Amino acid sequence: MLAEYLVAQALGVAGDSPREEWAACDLTAIDGTRVEVKSAAYIQSWHQDRPSRITFRVPKTRAWDKETNRQSEDARRQADVYVFALLAPIDQTILDPLDVSQWEFFVVPTMSLDNRRRSQHSITLPSLRELAGGSVGFSNLRGAVEEAGKIQRELAAKAMQPDSPSPSRQSPSRQPAESSI
C-alpha cells in the first residue's frame, strides 16, 4: 500500500478518491492511463539470513464488474502500465521506506509484459531491468508513466490494424531478435 501511495503522489492523484479494493487496477493517472503497482524490498520485517531475491508476480486476471457483480470471461492484464517499485537498501540500519530516494521505479507498458517469451506469471529483477531499460527515481516517475502510457496506446492501436499482426501474434521468425548483451 505504501508503494501505491508513493506512485499516486508522483502521479498527482493521491487522495482523489478512496481506494477501491476490487478495482481492475490500482491507480488511474490524470490522462486516464490505468496503472498497476507492484512492490518488493530486499529487507523484510522478519529475520533473514540474506536479502530477499526480487521477483514480481504479474499474472493475468479476470476483472470484476461492480455493477454486475461478475468477473470477465477472459483473463488479461487490466492496466495499461505497470510500475514496479523496489525499496532498494540492503542495510537495515539505513532503511527508511518513507525516503523516496531509497526507491527505484521500473515502468513498463503492459504489452511489453504480454509479449515476453519467458514466464507470463512473474518477472525477476534482472529481466525487469532489461525490459524497462533501467529504473527512474521518484521525481521522474510521472513522466515515465505518461511515456509508457503513450507507448501502450500506440502498441494497442497498431495491434488493432487488420493488415499488421500484433507482436504477440507474430511468428517467432517475424519478431525482432532479443539482445543478449
Q: Does the global pTM surpass 0.95? A: no
Q: What are the beta bridge partners of residue 108?
A: 82
Domain annotation covers residue 165: no
- Does any domain span residue 56? yes
Residue 60 placed within a domain: yes
Query: Above 50 in pLDDT, residue 103?
Result: yes
Q: Where are the strands (E) in 7-147, listed by range?
A: 27-28, 34-41, 55-57, 64-65, 70-71, 81-87, 103-109, 122-124
Separation CA 47–CA 31 (nearest Å): 42
State the total domains in the chain. 1
Q: Where are the beta strands (DSSP E) in 43-137?
A: 55-57, 64-65, 70-71, 81-87, 103-109, 122-124
Residue 7 in domain: yes
Task: Please give the residue range of the domain that contains residue 24.
Answer: 2-45+52-160
Does residue 98 fall inside a structural domain?
yes
Mean pLDDT in residue range 82-104: 96
Specify if 167 maps to a domain: no
Return the CA Rg of the chain: 17
DSSP assignment, residue 97? Answer: T
Q: Which of 46-55, 68-77, 94-103, 169-178 has the lowest mean pLDDT?
A: 169-178
Q: Tell me if 40 is assigned to some domain.
A: yes
